[in-house]
Structure 1
Amino acid sequence: MVVSKRIKIPRNGVDCTQLLEYLQEHFNNTLTGEVLRFAIVEVIGEDLIVDAAIMVNDTVTKRKTGGGIHG
C-alpha cells in the first residue's frame, strides 16, 4: 500500500539527504516503510511544502490505523 502526504518542513539550509532523513523520521512516527519519492511542490516563507509517498505493508497499516478499508 502506498501512502501519500504533503508535509511542511523548515527550509533552514536543508539539503536532499537531510530532507530524506526528515521524511523518514516523520513517517516512522506513524508508519513503517520505505520512502518511494518526494518532491518540493511549494516554498512558503521559511518552509518547504513536500509531497511524499511511502510504501507500507498492509499489516502495519491495519495495526497503526485501526483497520483497513472498514476500520
Structure 2
Amino acid sequence: MTDRATARAAKTALAGQLSTQPGVVGIGLARRDSGYVVKVDVADAAAAGLVPRDVDGVRVVTEVVGVIRPLRSRTA
C-alpha cells in the first residue's frame, strides 16, 4: 500500500523525467486497491512505452487518452 505523500513525491519526480517527452498529456494520482498510484495519461501507445512501470517503488499506470486540446469558446 502506497500512501498519498509517497505517491505525490513519486509523481513530482516522474513529472520532471517526462516533462519533455512528446505524447505525455497528463500526470496525476489515482486510488488503486488500498493505496495510491501515479497515473500518466498519454496521447498514443508509442508514448506509453516511454513511461516506467514504477518510480521510487510507487506503481505507475498509463492510459491512452488521445491528444488533449483546449475547448473552443462558443461566445458570439
TM-score norm. by structure 2 comes to: 0.29
Structure with greater proportional helix content? 1
Return the TM-score normalized by structure 1: 0.30
Q: With CA pairs under 8 Å and 6+ residues apart, which has the higher RCO, 1 or 2?
A: 1
> Which protein is richer in strand relative to its size?
1
Larger radius of gyration between Structure 1 and Structure 2: 2
